[in-house]
Amino acid sequence: MKLDPTDLRHVSVFQGATNEDLNLFAGKGILRSTEEGEFFFFQGDPAVFLYILISGKAKLLQSNPSGQQVNLRTIHQWEMFGALGAVRQNAIYPVTAQALESSTALAIESKVMQTILETRPQIAFGLMKLMTSYIQEMQARYRELATERVEQRVANALIRLAGQAGTKSSKEAGIELFFSRQDVAEMTGTTLYTISRLLSEWERQGILETGRERIKIMKPHDLVQIADSLEK
Q: What is the pLDDT of residues 104-150, one digit of tens each?
A: 999 999 999 999 888 899 899 989 888 888 888 778 777 777 777 89
Q: What domains appear along the chain, each with residue ranges and CATH number? A: 5-144 (2.60.120.10), 150-227 (1.10.10.10)
DSSP code per residue over 94-156 = SSEEEESSSEEEEEEEHHHHHHHHHH-HHHHHHHHHHHHHHHHHHHHHHHHHHHS-HHHHHHH
Q: What is the pLDDT along the chain (232 residues), one digit of tens a residue?
A: 688 999 999 999 998 889 999 999 999 999 999 999 999 999 999 999 999 999 999 999 888 777 777 788 889 999 999 999 998 889 999 999 999 899 999 999 999 999 988 889 989 998 988 888 888 877 877 777 777 789 998 998 899 888 877 777 656 678 888 888 888 888 888 889 999 999 999 999 999 999 888 899 999 899 999 988 754 4
Q: What is the pLDDT of residue 171?
A: 62
What global pTM score does this model have? 0.72
Q: What is the pLDDT of residue 131?
A: 86
Secondary structure (3-state) at 212: coil
DSSP code per residue over 47-106 = --EEEEEEES-EEEEEE-TT--EEEEEEE-TT-EE--GGGTSTT-B-SSEEEESSSEEEE
Rounded to a whole number of angstroms, the distance between the first and last alpha carbons of the chain is 49
